[in-house]
Amino acid sequence: MRVFHLVSFLTLALLATACFNYSRFLAQERGMLNRVSRSNLKSEQKLDSLLASSIRLMETALKPIDPTKGGKLVAQYFNQNQSAMESIATQLNGEFTKMNLLDQGVFTANFIRKPYARQFADLYPKFKKKYQQVQTAAKFIGFFGKAFGKLGKLAELLG
- What does the pLDDT read at residue 10? 38
- What does the pLDDT read at residue 110? 87
Distance from C-alpha of 18 to C-alpha of 27, rounded to nearest angstrom: 14
Positions in the chain short of pLDDT 50: 2-19, 159
- What does the pLDDT read at residue 117? 85
User: Taking the model in full, what pTM does it have?
Assistant: 0.76
Burial string for 144-153 (b: 16+ CB within 10 Å, else e) reads beebbeebbe
Distance from C-alpha of 115 to C-alpha of 113, rounded to nearest angstrom: 6
- What does the pLDDT read at residue 148? 64
